[in-house]
Structures are given as structure tokens and as C-alpha cells.
Structure 1
Amino acid sequence: MPSIELQSRRFTTDRLDTHAFVAGDPQKPALLLIHGNVSSAVFFDQVQAELARDYYVIAPDMRGYGKSQLEAIDATRGMADMSDDFAALLAHPDLGLAADAKVHVVGWSVGGNVALQLALDHGTRVASLTLLNPGSPKGFGGTKDVAGTPCYPDFGGSGGGTANPDFVAFLAAKERGSDAPVTPRNVMVNFYWKPGLALEPAREEAYLSAMLDTTAGATTYPGDVVDSPNWPGVAPGVTGMNNALSPKYLDQAGFAALGAGGPPVLWIRGADDQIVSDRSMFDFGTLGELGAVPGWPGAEVFPSQPMVAQTRAVFDAYQAAGGRYREVVFEDCGHGPHIEKQDAFLAELRTFLREQGA
């Protein structure tokens, strides 16, 4: 059966000029696919085409990513800029959704945090959540336990300064090569999925191009950088995605309080994820322990952030309050289950959606 064609469209709201790929029949149940950091909706290309046989599938680019308008991210609002953007998109008359229509939301990586925020702030539009290796509800970096206790009062070790400056420079220069360890291509093939995954060359190039469509700098990725007297010497600023992910501004533990009134949740993660895990290779606690960042003060002061354990604790509390969630772990899989295990992902998602009557 031929794939459904993805339509590249633009929707102007009072917040943003948003680019989105749209596919399928607007009369069918709607799915909203939210991409991760340093990526775009292009990373959903194949699964969007498959899902569009049975659903109306909308895959937008976040502000400053992909082909959407460059607009600063107010990090002090956590994920709220992005969730408000997408709520405005869902209300756009040209999208074809009824004013009271609920959508099933799929969020990958930081897109999972945006999805959680959408449920918190615009819950009347959310029918269900499917979260693929989502960032911790307690933010990214600088916390030491399941409760999300900060390692330092200034939340040092999180924010815009957590990004490798060489990677940011390569991103800004639109570097397509692989001659340095932290070029966008090498970061993608070694961390976006489990190393060794063989993609068709054209697909790899398309995903690399999607990474390079990220606006690198102080307003989008990674955000402004602030010095800290605490190891490793950086604290969160006030603009950009990595600052928005800082636990100084992002605490979504309140999702648990939605309880029985909240949407059902399917949590899918790869067992070998190196980005979002209890020993993330992007976390200063892990890097310090490994000697990659000198001066590590030790595990009592700055351990690896238990990202998966923090997520599970919030979802367990959500379940105890009457909410519903299911955790599914794909073995031999890294950070991109929808790419690495596409058939298994689609099977799990379709089963979950059928359970919700979609």
C-alpha cells in the first residue's frame, strides 16, 4: 500500500508562524507528534505516513526549530511557550479540528515534556499521552535524587551551559561532516539511537538536515549561559531550550495531581538510551564521575541525575491518585524508539489508541 503523502503547511496564530507536516483525514481521530531537542518534525516522517492511514496526524516544528518562526523561548516559563504555541495551533481554523476536539499527543524526548505541559495547561485538548524517552518531569541536570533536590541552590550544572560549545558551533556552521567527535552527524548516529543502527543514506541526510535547521544561539538552543561559583561553573540563564529544561524552571511533578482527571499515559523508552537515563552521558554528574569534566565534587554533592526513576516516581504518584499509565521498555534500543523499533512502536501505539477508543 503506498504511503500517505505529508503536506508541508504553515499556520499563523497570534503567537507564532508554525510549520507543520499534516497527513490523513481531518474527520478521523487526531494525533499531535512533538519532536525533541535539536531535531524537527522530519524525525517523524515514516511513522507519520503510516499512522495517517487511520488518523489525522499533525507534526509541527517548535519555535526556532525546523521551518517554524524563530522566536525566543522564555526559559522562565519552562515548557509553557511551546505548549501554548501548540494549543494555538490546534485552535487554528485551517487545521480543521473542532473547537472542542481532543488530540492524542505523542512526544519524543523534550517533546515529552512539552506534551506533559500541554496536559497540565490545556488538558481539555488532550485525549492521551504517548511519551518516547521523555525528559524527566524534574528537568534536566543539576538534581541529585528521585525527589529532584537540586545539587546547588543556583541549580548549577543545568541550563544553557550544559551544551558542548563545539557542538553548538558546528550546529551554527551547518557542519555536515564527521571529522570531529561532536559534529551533529556524530552526535546523531552515536546518541539519537543506539550506535550501529544502519539507516538508508538519504534518510540519514534528511535527519541531519533537520538537526541543522535548529537555530543555534542564546534564544533557542541552547540558550544563554550564566557563570556559577559551583562545579561545573555554569547555571541556568533565562532564554533558550536548555535553560527551559533546567529544574530551576521546569518541575512537572504536579502532573501527578491530575489523577483520575488526567489523560492515560503510554511511556515507551529504549533500554540503552544514553540521553535520558539514570546515567545520562549528557549529565555532568555522569561526565564528572567518568573524568570527562575535571573537578567533580563527588557523588554526595553531584551524582548522576536519576532521570528514569524521577519519571517513574511521578507516574506512580499519578496512578496512586487515579491516573493510568503503562511503561514499555524496548530492549536493544536507544533514544529513538520510533526510528529504531518502528514496527514495535507502531504496534504499541495502535494498541494503546484502540484502548482509548481511537
Structure 2
Amino acid sequence: MALLDGITSRIIDTDRLSVNILERSGDDPATTAQQTVVLIHDNVASSLFWQELMQDLPTELRVVAVDLRGFGGTEHMPVDATRGVRDFSDDVRATLDALSIDTAHLVGWGLGGGVVLQYALDHPALSLTLAAPVSPYGLGGTRRDGSRLTDDDGGAGAGSANRDLVARLNDRDAGAGAPTSPRSVFRSSFVAEGFRSDNEDIWVESMLSTSTASGNYPGEIVPSENWPGFAPGATGVLNALAPRYFDVSAIVDLPEKPPILWVHGDADSIVSDASFSDVNQLGALGIIPDWPGAEVAPAQPMVSQTRDVLAAYGAKGGTVAELELAGVGHTPHLERPAEFRRALLEAIGYLGRRADPAPPTEAIILSSSD
């Protein structure tokens, strides 16, 4: 495992499974919940992606990054997709129990954003930071209001995964020039065009830690009478995000609402209103043949869905902050680390307790019942 300076790794045995976590050398386990930050990674990734942020956060905080099941060093147990992402969120709760952490500030990137929203529906959280999060209505097959396009979610789930990428993950083939290699996917989809990182080899290693065993990524595929001919099965990571199983829009009705920070880039090709991860968008572009048209299979407006749900959350008494970063792709914490760090510290209330020399983050838009 490629660890940066000051980052350590260990396995935690919980009552559900063995979980790998990253921590910082010198962090105090007795740190209060108010100063504890828990980081949850995206799909086809692991906790390794959080290391630069972990290094940059103030030493007064306790920072823990968790590998989800089937990723990184955590046990590769199957994902019951019929529970949505509850297998993941319950694993996080079990991990925090094992660490004697009652509650904390939760940060979720991509898939992890969905996990922390589900976590907040089931367990108390001090705040939620969503970095380029999956839509509250899942991945694929919904209209803007979250209503499902078909009864079986045709076009959503494991069948939407690129088969060559899955094969390369299975073979731990980082690749170089092939457009579907993990390295090329990182450069073309995870980050905006032109972004380069000295730690790219680590990020690719993180992607290659994805388990392609049965029940993990991407999951079971079943046939469908609806275009393009497949639907989500009952196991696997991508199926867990299918709208028949995953819908965290009930966050708007939480009686106790943790403040939410939403950070996203306007050049994100994975989570957008015209996502290249959405088969309906690919059909509209002619990449997948025989698209039945926008009336039957419209692209999922992922960012608009998130904005609508968070606006409703604010209208019902919650506090929401949005930071949209120009020219940033799917990894705002890597591409614009100073702005991400500043926004996170504001969200968890740290800057109200400590002076920070960084300039204010002018792009933050606040909304609340106040």
C-alpha cells in the first residue's frame, strides 16, 4: 500500500467484517467528536485518495479514512444491492463503534456521498460534506423529480460498467494508452483535462484495489425488455445505486438535520446532468445504438437532482453550503485542495474555533432556515 508521509494503515475487526482504515501518526484517539472527521471514498477507489487532504488538515483534528467493503484493504464481502448502500453505511457504523467514535463529521466522495447520506438517515452525524456525490436518487434511470423511468430500472446498474475496465481491474492492469485502462480513466474521467498529479501512481493503485469478485464491482446483470437490454441484479456495487434500491431523498425530512456542504466541479464527466456514466446520455450521443429517444430514456440530471433535494433540505430547516469549482472534474479534493480544505473546515466549525490564515472561500453559497 502506497502511504504518504505521516499516514498509517491498520485493520479493524468489527462485528460485521474486517475493515482497513487510514489514520495520521500522532492523532489523539481521545479527540472529541466535534474534532473528528471520517472520510468515505468513491467507487473504483479507496481511502488512499484521501491522503493529501489528511496531511493538510490541522493536527488538532482526528482524521480517519475508511475502506468500504470490496475496496482497498477491507474484506471483500459481497454487497446486498437490495439494501441500497446500507451494507456500506452499516459497515461504517460498525467501524466507528470499534473505534469508540459515537459520532463525527462525515465526508463522502462520489459513492461515499451516498453512503454518508444513508448513514445520516440511520445514525447521528455532526455534519455531512458531499464531494461530487452520486445523486440522491442513485445512478441512472430517473427523471429530475426522482421518478423511475421503468419498473426494472432498465439501463441502470452493473450492466453500465465498461467491461474492458472491469477486466483490467480484475487483472490489476493499470494500462497506459488504452482509453479504458484505469490510468486513462483517471485522467479522462476522475480529473478535469490537463490536471496532473505527482501521486498519480498511488491513485491508480487505489483504483486497482477494487474487487471484481462476485457480489462486488460491478455486480450481477439481469436481462431486461427495456432498452438497452439489461437491468440491475440483486448484488454488487453499481446495483446498490440503482433507483429501485437506492433513494436517500428522505434526508429532507430528518428531524435533526446536520449541516451539509456540497462541493462539486463544473467539469465533472461522471456526476453531471449529461454524465458519460449514464447509458441514456451515451444513447443520445449515438455511442450506444438504438436509443429510443428522450421521451423514453432521458439522461439523468444528476446535479440538478442534488440541488433540488438540498434546496428542499434547506427549506425544511437544514443548513446547506454549496461550493461549485470552475474547471474541476470529479475529484475536487485533489484538484483544488486549498479551497476544498477551507470549505470543509468552515463546514465543521473549525474556523470558528481557530484562526486560519487562508483567504475566505467566496464561492460558498449558504442557505438555511435562518
TM over 0.5: yes
**Which residue of structure 2 lines up, in the alignment, with residue 197 of structure 1?**
195
Q: Helix, strand or coil for the counterpart of 1:142?
A: coil
What CA deviation, in whole Å up to 9, does each residue of 1:77-119 have, x standing for no partner?
0010011001011111xx353xxx3200000000000000110
**Which residue of structure 1 lines up, in the alignment, with residue 90 of structure 2?**
84
| Residue 261 of structure 2 corresponds to residue 266 of structure 1 | yes
Q: 1:69 to 1:33 in 2, by over 3 A?
A: same
Q: Distance in 2 between matches of 1:184 and 1:4?
A: 25
| Residue 332 of structure 2 corresponds to residue 346 of structure 1 | no
**Which residue of structure 2 lines up, in the alignment, with residue 238 of structure 1?**
234
Query: Structure 1 residue 25: deviation in Å?
Result: 2.1
What CA deviation, in whole Å up to 9, does each residue of 1:317-342 have, x standing for no partner?
11111111111101110100000001
**Which residue of structure 2 lines up, in the alignment, with residue 121 of structure 1?**
122
Q: Helix, strand or coil for the counterpart of 2:294?
A: coil
Letter matched to residue 297 of structure 1: P
Query: Structure 1 residue 52: deviation in Å?
Result: 5.1
Query: Structure 1 residue 357: deviation in Å?
Result: 6.0
Q: Does the 8 Å contact 1:73/1:219 carry over to 2?
A: yes
**Which residue of structure 2 lines up, in the alignment, with residue 138 of structure 1?**
137
**Which residue of structure 2 lines up, in the alignment, with residue 10 of structure 1?**
11
Q: Distance in 2 between matches of 1:325 and 1:156?
A: 33
What CA deviation, in whole Å up to 9, does each residue of 1:289-309 have, x standing for no partner?
111000100011111101111
Letter matched to residue 29 of structure 2: P
Q: Helix, strand or coil for the counterpart of 2:349?
A: helix
Letter matched to residue 222 of structure 2: V
Letter matched to residue 26 of structure 1: P
**Which residue of structure 2 lines up, in the alignment, with residue 303 of structure 1?**
298
Query: Structure 1 residue 179: deviation in Å?
Result: 3.1
Q: Mean alpha-carbon deviation: is it higher for 3-12 or for 293-302?
A: 3-12
**Which residue of structure 1 lines up, in the alignment, with residue 157 of structure 2?**
159
What CA deviation, in whole Å up to 9, does each residue of 1:46-92 have, x standing for no partner?
10122251310000100010010010000000010011001011111
Letter matched to residue 337 of structure 1: P
Q: Distance in 2 between matches of 1:217 and 1:70?
A: 8
Letter matched to residue 343 of structure 1: A
Match of 1:63 among 51, 69, 76: 69
Q: Does the 8 Å contact 2:127/2:347 carry over to 1?
A: no
Q: Helix, strand or coil for the counterpart of 1:58?
A: strand
Query: What RMSD over aligned residues (CA atoms) do the two structures have, in Å?
Result: 1.4
Q: Does the 8 Å contact 1:278/1:309 carry over to 2?
A: yes
Matches within 5 A, 1:199-348: 199-200=197-198, 203-259=199-255, 261-348=256-343
Q: Distance in 2 between matches of 1:296 and 1:180?
A: 26
Letter matched to residue 103 of structure 1: A
Q: Does the 8 Å contact 1:258/1:323 carry over to 2?
A: no
Letter matched to residue 265 of structure 2: G
**Which residue of structure 2 lines up, in the alignment, with residue 150 of structure 1?**
148
Q: Helix, strand or coil for the counterpart of 2:126?
A: strand
Q: Distance in 2 between matches of 1:32 and 1:287?
A: 35
Q: Distance in 1 between matches of 2:128 and 2:66?
A: 16
Q: Distance in 2 between matches of 1:257 and 1:91?
A: 26
Q: Does the 8 Å contact 1:33/1:60 carry over to 2?
A: yes
Q: Does the 8 Å contact 1:12/1:18 carry over to 2?
A: yes
Q: Mean alpha-carbon deviation: is it higher for 27-36 or for 61-70?
A: 27-36
Letter matched to residue 133 of structure 2: P
Q: Distance in 2 between matches of 1:178 and 1:219?
A: 28
Q: Normalising by structure 2, what TM-score?
A: 0.90
Calculate percent identity across the aligned residue pairs. Answer: 43
Q: Does the 8 Å contact 1:25/1:52 carry over to 2?
A: no
Q: Distance in 1 between matches of 2:301 and 2:84?
A: 20
Q: Distance in 2 between matches of 1:180 and 1:25?
A: 44
Match of 1:27 among 21, 25, 30: 30
Q: Distance in 2 between matches of 1:296 and 1:119?
A: 37
User: What is the number of equivalent residue pairs in this alignment?
Assistant: 345
Query: Structure 1 residue 180: deviation in Å?
Result: 1.8
Q: Does the 8 Å contact 2:346/2:352 carry over to 1?
A: no
Unaligned ranges ≥5, structure 1: none
Query: Structure 1 residue 218: deviation in Å?
Result: 3.1
Query: Structure 1 residue 355: deviation in Å?
Result: 6.5
Q: Distance in 2 between matches of 1:351 and 1:122?
A: 23
